[in-house]
Structure 1
């Protein structure tokens, strides 16, 4: 602590900072960069005016979907920063061609890019923990890029490798694979939810088939996301054949009940013996089906109690479907006579 408060040390730090400012800021090249930064900012604000005038009325219209409206409200304030970054990229490219200095512009580009990404993350990532984690990662990448250590860090991570047969797995590849996996799974989830809403609006498809198509689409999108992420790491997909066989054996022994419930759910959807809205009785439970899940069926009784019945139980036990062929359901109402 005494060392940090040493007057000589503080004086030396002040002198070093003064020298750095004189060498990096108070120069004609730096003044040119500051002028270019200010000019591109003013130009971006001018260019953004017609875009904002065109988009603001569209955002207020009720014809926009409830899911898209927050996205438009988030992108609207980012029009100026996005245009500014594009103009700064052009300025950096021109400076490189003219062999002029572009350090300050590169720093501003990194900071604005990080701010835009974090602003988008806070809108699309609802979980606060994940949003903070991604924000920290973005700021770290921006800081490494500013100090010129981003490429050496990437080279270092690429050098940390593990070779299994003909496959070379690097730390950088694993990080990229995890990034692609999270991104693609998020996109797959959004796409499946969007398609599910579209399928539910189709009048010629029964509720059971709607649930079945939604599940199959979600499974297909998740599988595609996983395979693309694995392939991005550099792992040949044909090398997963042995692993897939071992995984199948593990599923057969350890996850038998889960897989059984999943397959039973698909069978229930395909044979349409029960569907959302039906009134059923099974194992002493009587009520209407609220939803069909991948693992269980949600049944709500007349008292408002929701029972989660495994799909397998609806296959192997006797089920009373009161509305299988007709929607008319008899209600028993005991009346006491004095």
Structure 2
């Protein structure tokens, strides 16, 4: 290894006119071309169906992000050994190898971060800023390595200590601890995201069970990563007992609702009372379950509004699940016809009219019944069933009512109107009624009335 960047530059300048530098440049270009060719060939060979072999597909996608830089580094290392064995200069190859390693590291880290933190909303500004900062730090580290200043930087960080309690901790140990924790957490989150994606593609497992296994698996991986990173740094894990006691007190005093929501979320997922895609109603909320998280559940209403409902609401309130065991739902509409109509013919016409509506299922035929012989007419109810409650109820009710109205118009069936009795009084009858009301008023039945007409 060169002591400084000037030594490397001098070596390159000395070999500039010699065929050794041109040979190294040619070998480097050949290694890059071969790595690109082999990477493309491997991607074509290992292309598999997502549904048949999802594990291989996930691993291939993860590995293909760094496949070209990794193959380039491997070929350059082999070329360096061969060229050095021929007693040829290798200064240019020793310069290119760390550059390719840093490029592969950045591509891998960027892929893992976007795999873990990026959702359908796109890449956030903070993540883009972090990627730029990380890339700048990597290139600065490579520059320090090439210039020979890296050992000096390490020695400075190791000699600089900070007093923390009764102990003296160097800056190098602090940076190593931060890096180890960050790396283990990122790897744990990446493995959790891969596990979740794999589980969500298992059609043989219930969706709620897949979700709870994915959530518990990610939490377990994060816990193991934290404990492992702390052990690598040298922190005694027995100090976590104090933190565990404080956390228990905090849960008992101030975090009851949050803890209840988390526990309720796992209970809901384990007992499978709710699943993704179910149409449910709880309290004032009604909609389709689009996401079940550890603390809350998202319900998408028929108007497109998404409601974030804490999971403990589903445990403490009665929940109407319209698609728990089956998705069939009964709806009904009412009307009143006059007494003069032929009730049997009217019921038959109503059933036939509703059965032709598009969303009304024929698995259970519509049924029109006479519910009451009322004061104003014959009160009827038309019941029907649908198989897609997630598409809404008001629109199918509108279609059914329109079909019923067309039948009523076509067969001249009269809808009953509320009865109102009106009496026309003569002048003598009006006077007698007024005297009767005044008499009642004097008897104290209407003590507060003054003028009664």
TM above 0.5: yes
Give secondary structure in 1 for the equivalent of 2:273: coil
The 3-state SS of whatever aligns with 2:281 is strand
Q: Which moved more, 1:294-303 or 1:191-200?
A: 191-200
Residues 272-314 of structure 1, C-alpha deviations (whole Å, 9 max, x = no match) = 3323233222112222322211111111223332211111111
**Paired position in structure 1 for 2:96:** 108
TM-score normalised per structure 1: 0.75
1:139 shift after superposition: 0.7
- From the superposition, tell whether residues 225 and 253 of structure 1 become closer, same or farther in structure 2 (CA, over 3 Å): same
Change (3 A) 1:221 1:276: same
2:173 — aligned with what?
Answer: 173
In 1, Cα distance between equivalents of 2:224 and 2:102 = 29
Tell me the residue number matched to 1:193: 193
Q: Which of 41, 47, 51 does residue 28 from structure 2 map onto?
A: 41
CA root-mean-square deviation: 3.9
Any residues of structure 2 matched to 1:248-287 within 5 Å, and which? Answer: 248-287=248-287
Specify the SS of the correspondent of 1:273. coil
Instruction: Determine which structure has more spread, i.e. the larger CA radius of gyration.
Output: 2
Determine the C-alpha separation between the residues in 1 that align with 2:255 and 2:283: 24
Deviations, residues 146-191 of structure 1 (Å, cap 9, x unaligned): 1212122123223334566787643223323332333333322332
Counterpart contact for 1:29–1:101, Cα < 8 Å: no
- Contact kept? 1:56, 1:76, Cα under 8 Å: no
The structure in which a higher percent of residues are helix is 1
Q: Does the aligned pair in 1 maintain the 2:113–2:186 contact within 8 Å?
A: no
Displacement of 1:199 in angstroms is: 2.3
When residues 138 and 58 of structure 1 are mapped into structure 2, their CA distance, relative to the original with a 3 A threshold, is same
Within 2, Cα distance between the matches of 1:53 and 1:197?
25
Stretches of structure 2 that go unaligned for 5 or more consecutive residues are 1-5, 115-126, 333-396, 406-414, 416-453
Distance in 2 separating the partners of 1:299 and 1:53: 44
Identify if the C-alpha distance between structure 1 residues 304 and 35 changes in structure 2 by more than 3 Å, giving closer, same or farther. closer
Cα deviation digits, residues 235-266 of structure 1 (max 9, x gap): 12223222332233334444333222111111
Alignment of 1:113-192 (within 5 A): 113-126=101-114, 127-162=127-162, 169-192=169-192
Query: Which is further off, 228-237 or 72-81?
Result: 72-81
Structure 2 residue 218 is the aligned partner of structure 1 residue 218: yes
Distance in 2, matches of 1:21 and 1:76, equals 29
Mapped to 1, the partners of 2:287 and 2:8 lie a distance apart of: 76
Say which of 70, 81, 102 aligns to 2:72: 81
Tell me how far apart the structure 2 counterparts of residues 216 and 198 of structure 1 sit (CA, whole Å).
14
- Tell me how far 1:223 sits from its aligned partner: 0.9
Cα distance in 2 for residues equivalent to 1:240 and 1:103 = 50
Once residues 53 and 319 of structure 1 are traced to their aligned partners in structure 2, the CA distance between those partners, rounded to angstroms, is: 53
CA distance in 2, matches of 1:58, 1:112: 25
Contact 1:81–1:116 (CA<8 Å) still a contact in 2?
no
> Do the aligned partners of residues 251 and 191 (structure 1) sit closer, same or farther apart at CA in structure 2, a change above 3 Å counting?
same
CA contact (8 A) 1:160 1:170 kept: yes
- Identify which range, 237-246 or 62-71, moves more after superposition: 62-71
- More displaced, 25-34 or 221-230? 25-34
User: Please, which moves more after superposition, 198-207 or 45-54?
Assistant: 45-54
| Secondary structure, aligned partner of 1:330 | strand
2:329 aligns to what SS in structure 1? coil
Report how far residue 141 of structure 1 moved.
0.8
Shift of 1:220: 0.5
Residues 311, 24 of structure 1: CA spacing in aligned structure 2 closer, same or farther, 3 A cutoff?
same
Q: Distance in 2 between matches of 1:62 and 1:272?
A: 30
Q: Distance in 2 between matches of 1:49 and 1:246?
A: 54
What residue in structure 1 maps to residue 288 of structure 2?
288
Report the more deviating stretch, 71-80 or 217-226: 71-80
Q: TM-score, normalised by structure 2?
A: 0.58
Deviation, structure 1 residue 210 = 1.6
Residue matched to 2:430: none
Task: Single out whichever of 41-50 and 127-136 deviates more from structure 2.
Answer: 41-50
Which is further off, 225-234 or 50-59?
50-59
The residue number in structure 1 matching 2:330 is 330
